[in-house]
Amino acid sequence: MGLNHPRDLDAWHAWQRSRSPLRVLVDRFRSQPPLRGTLTIRTPEPRVLVVLDWLAPTSLMALFEMTAHLSAPYAVLSPTPLPNGWPGSPLSPDDAVVPEELASVTVVVAAGRYLPLGAVAHAWSRRVGAHFVAVQHGLLTPHAPPLAPDSHLLAWSDADADFWRSGRSDVQTHAVGSQLLWEASRGQAVVTDDRPTFLGQLHSAEMGRREMARFTGAFCRTEGARYRPHPGERDRLSRLQHGRWRRQGIEFDAGSVPLRRLPTPVVSVFSTGILEAAARGAPAWAAYDRPPAWLEEFWERYAMSRYGAAPTAAPATPEREPAVAVAAAIEALA
298-308 confidence digits (pLDDT tens): 999 999 999 99
Output the pLDDT for position 27: 56
Q: Strand 152-155 and strand 172-175: pairing? A: parallel
What percent of the chain shows pLDDT beyond 70? 97
DSSP 145: P
Output the pLDDT for position 204: 85
Residues 133-184: tens digit of each pLDDT: 999 999 999 999 999 999 999 999 999 999 999 999 999 999 999 999 999 9
Cα–Cα separations (whole angstroms), residue 137 to 147, 154, 239, 251, 313 = 13, 10, 27, 30, 21
| Distance from C-alpha of 126 to C-alpha of 148, rounded to nearest angstrom | 11
Q: What is the average per-residue pLDDT within 207-215?
A: 91
Q: What is the average per-residue pLDDT within 91-118?
A: 95
Q: What is the average per-residue pLDDT within 30-47?
A: 89
Dihedral angle sign, alpha carbons of residues 69, 51, 269, 164 = negative
Output the pLDDT for position 22: 56
| Distance from C-alpha of 85 to C-alpha of 326, rounded to nearest angstrom | 24
Quick check: 57 pLDDT over 70? yes
Quick check: 334 pLDDT over 80? yes
Closest CA to 53 of 131, 119, 139, 150: 119
| Distance from C-alpha of 61 to C-alpha of 59, rounded to nearest angstrom | 5
Angle at 236 between CA 235 and CA 239, to 5 degrees: 90
Cα–Cα separations (whole angstroms), residue 22 to 17, 123, 233, 318, 330 = 9, 30, 16, 43, 41
Buried b / exposed e over 170-199, threshold 16 CB at 10 Å, is ebebbbbbbbbbbbbbeeebeeeeeebbbb
Quick check: 28 pLDDT over 80? no
Q: Whole-prediction pTM value?
A: 0.94
Compute and round to an integer the Cα radius of gyration of the chain: 20
